[in-house]
A and B are shown apart, each in its own frame.
Chain A
Amino acid sequence: MSKQAVLKKRGTIPEAISRNVDDSGPDPHKGVGYVFANVRSEYWTFVPIDSLPGGIQDVPIAMNFGAYPLLSHWLLASLVSTATTSIAPDIASIEEQFAALANQWHEETDFLSSPSSITNNYSYWKILSMGKRVIPMILEDLKERGGLWYPALRLLSEEDPVPIEARGDVGQMKKAWLQWGRDRGYIK
């Protein structure tokens, strides 16, 4: 099930917004005119669309989202993270939980370079806590989006297929882990 479908099924956008918005902020149910944004990965707030540098062009129109047509896919992914990890963790499948956590981790760390800052992250830990069953999902995310998944893969698999001479060479590291995944049957 796609993230959008999951979100629509649960109808969690208003809940996610109402759980996060500052009480002193604008009415979250007005929707149009504001975009709900995760600012610097620190806090959630409503940002007037007019205040965005590129105005409305900065908010890709995501159709079919009822009262919130201006939420971009990017911001929507953040809401899905909140919805599936905070609101309904009990009914989300392992794939949905992983997708939400991985999205959140990427949003919060893709602009960082310090490995300790990248992995010292709640979503990353939460993914680790899900155990070996997420290895196929990590490998897929590594292939599609990259990121510092290598410590997680080492911890979960207790293996390291990356040759010493390839350390730091992301292309070679990725290749080694994806081949390892195929050899172990994690990648079909």
Chain B
Amino acid sequence: MRLHLWLIFPKLTDQNHSISSPATDNYNCVAWAYEVSSKKMWPGAPEDYYWPPDVADTDELQALIQLYLNVGYVQCDNDQREDGFKKVAIYVNQEGRPQHVARQLESGRWTSKLGDLEDIEHDTLEILEGESYGKATVFLKKRVVPSL
């Protein structure tokens, strides 16, 4: 357990998460959930973040949803693992602004890039919920094409 992470996310324990890669500012949670690790992505901040030109960025939450819809995700109503699908979850704060995105792994666990800090794998979305990230409220899923 890294102390600096526990101070930010007090629900983290050694049993419910693991660190999967070291801290870097080369990419952020949106890019990581989008399976990109060479850029930072965020809507509405074109000077500093990459955003696909075909996705409107006027509303942060709608833009994030559209980002994933454009690559084959569809909205769904829960975070439960489903055979043949991968999922992403968008955390939204009390003001309705997105703060974080996590992606579900085949195992059912979730992978998160914590800002400029580490990537972690965590058992549930609830572990990262709180004042910092808000609550995971938007879910999308995409059918996984089985590899031959």
Contacts and interface: CB of A to CB of B under 8 A. Distances in A.
Contact of A113 (B5, B115, B130): B115
18 contacts: A40-B8, A52-B6, A54-B1, A74-B4, A111-B117, A113-B30, A113-B100, A113-B115, A114-B99, A115-B45, A117-B97, A160-B47, A167-B47, A168-B48, A168-B50, A168-B51, A170-B40, A173-B48
A38 B46 CA distance: 33
A169 B38 contact: yes
A179 interface: no
Interface stretch (A14-22, A121-129, A146-154): A146-154
A62 B69 CA distance: 49
A21 to B, nearest CB: 16
Interface of B: 1, 3-10, 12-14, 25-30, 38-42, 45-51, 60, 97-101, 113-117, 130-132
Contacts of A52: 3, 6
B110 to A, nearest CB: 15
A173 B25 CA distance: 11
B19 to A, nearest CB: 13
A97 B13 CA distance: 35
Interface of A: 37-42, 52-54, 58-59, 72, 74, 109-118, 146-148, 150-151, 154, 160, 162, 167-171, 173
Contact of B131 (A40, A114, A146, A150): A40
Contact of B130 (A37, A40, A116, A117): A40
B47 A114 contact: no
A113 B3 contact: no
A150 B47 contact: yes
Nearest to B12: A53
